[in-house]
Amino acid sequence: MDAIFLQILNGLDKGAAYALIALGLTLVFGTLGIVNFAHGAIFMLGAFCAVAFNKLLTLSTKVEDTGVTLFKAYKETPYLKIWFPEAGPVLIDFSVPLSIVMAIPVMLLIGYVMERGLIKHFYKRPHAEQILVTFGLAIVIQEVVKAYFGANPIPQSAPSLMSGSASVGSWIGLGENVVYPWWRLIYLGFSGAVVFAVFAFLKYTTYGMVVRAGMRDRETVGLLGIDIERRFTIVFALATVVAGLAGVMYTPVLPPDFHMGMDFLVLSFVVVVVGGMGSLGGAVLAGFLLGLVQSFASMTEVTAILPGIDQIIIYLVAVFILLVLPRGLMGRAGVMDD
């Protein structure tokens, strides 16, 4: 029972990342009609925002190491620790959540530039070309990151306050021994908050209403005299921010490296298609669902019977669902129908 509960958390956790990426993908697809193969790279950029912010905070200089008395030794010490001996270390410790502050404007800018600079020229071009150009863009982004940050994963840590484990068992009466990392719970909560915020935006603001209308019928919205192109830019930027934030907060869970974008992208596409293209709710639901499926499939009991099943289970489920439910779980008619 304990194991199952933990796997559920694990699955929701992983699923949260999928859901956020899939949410952005669906927003862009539903509003702009573009299948954005660079979306995974955006997730990766978010993660590297955290890396960059951390590097910024830990800009160091050599300071005499008073601890070594035999000879003059020097220690690399971050400027922040020197200038703010008390607040400095705390800031550095909290670099991951703090990098959200930097990530939001950076991702907005990236999204804006991407859309205005490249994507908008492809609205009227055939789908295949949209896929191809965003695919090429993904490669370029990936390679730039690799050139700048190197090819190795750069682990980031969660703030020490939150890097321990919570005894989740005691919350639901399963006993003290059932523990789960705090940060992952925070990630789950954070993701939930972001999803909620996006849905709230779409439902309760006029802007959001226009976006939803545009997702249903772009042409009519345009005819109503609403500047649809500006909406596109904003939606794209929003999707970029969502994916970026998902990336930022995920860094303590998975050390960022330059090709993580593509790995997540493949899975996210699967999620979007299972959820039903064009359905935001479907994307989120499918994200969590597939995260759960993958998590359960990796339980030792399961891999004992079917070795390696966790590697391929998502794809199997996706294939099955696509063949049985042509529009995915919650897809709407008219979106990419055959």
Q: Pick one of 2, 129, 217, 227: the residue that binds other proteins (CB under 8 A).
A: 129
Residue with Cβ nearer other proteins (96 or 243): 243
Q: Pick one of 73, 193, 197, 316: the residue that binds other proteins (CB under 8 A).
A: 316
Q: Is residue 338 a contact residue for other proteins (CB under 8 A)?
A: yes
The phi and psi torsions of 76 (rounded to 5 degrees) equal -75, 115
Q: Is residue 307 a contact residue for other proteins (CB under 8 A)?
A: yes
Q: Which is nearest to 36 in space by CA: 159, 120, 101, 149?
A: 120
The dihedral formed by the CA atoms of 263, 264, 268 and 269, expressed in degrees to the nearest 10: -30
Task: Characterize 47-61 residue by residue with b for buried, 16 or more Cβ atoms within 10 angstroms of its Cβ, and e for exposed.
Answer: bbbbbbbbeebbeee
63 pairs with which residues across the strands? 75
Q: For the chain, count helices (H), then strands (E).
A: 15, 4
105-124: contacts with other proteins (CB under 8 A): 118, 121
Q: Is residue 70 a contact residue for other proteins (CB under 8 A)?
A: no
Q: Is residue 198 a contact residue for other proteins (CB under 8 A)?
A: no
Q: Pick one of 42, 114, 318, 330: the residue that binds other proteins (CB under 8 A).
A: 318
Q: Is residue 35 a contact residue for other proteins (CB under 8 A)?
A: yes
Residue 82 to residues 157, 192, 331, Cα–Cα distance (Å): 21, 37, 55
Q: From the CB of 142, what's the least distance to other proteins, in Å?
A: 8
Site string for other proteins, 215-254 (x = CB under 8 A): ----------------------------------------
Residue 254 to residues 45, 47, 78, Cα–Cα distance (Å): 14, 9, 24
Residue with Cβ nearer other proteins (41 or 96): 41
Task: Provide the 10 A C-beta neighbour count for residue 193.
Answer: 11
Q: Is residue 140 a contact residue for other proteins (CB under 8 A)?
A: yes
Site string for other proteins, 262-301 (x = CB under 8 A): x---x--xx--x---x------------------------
Task: Provide the 10 A C-beta neighbour count for residue 310.
Answer: 17
- Residue 139 structure tokens: 């490669």
For binding to other proteins (CB under 8 A), which residues are involved? 35, 118, 121, 125, 127-129, 131-133, 135-140, 142-144, 146-147, 151, 262, 266, 269-270, 273, 277, 307-308, 311-312, 315-316, 318-319, 322-323, 326, 336, 338
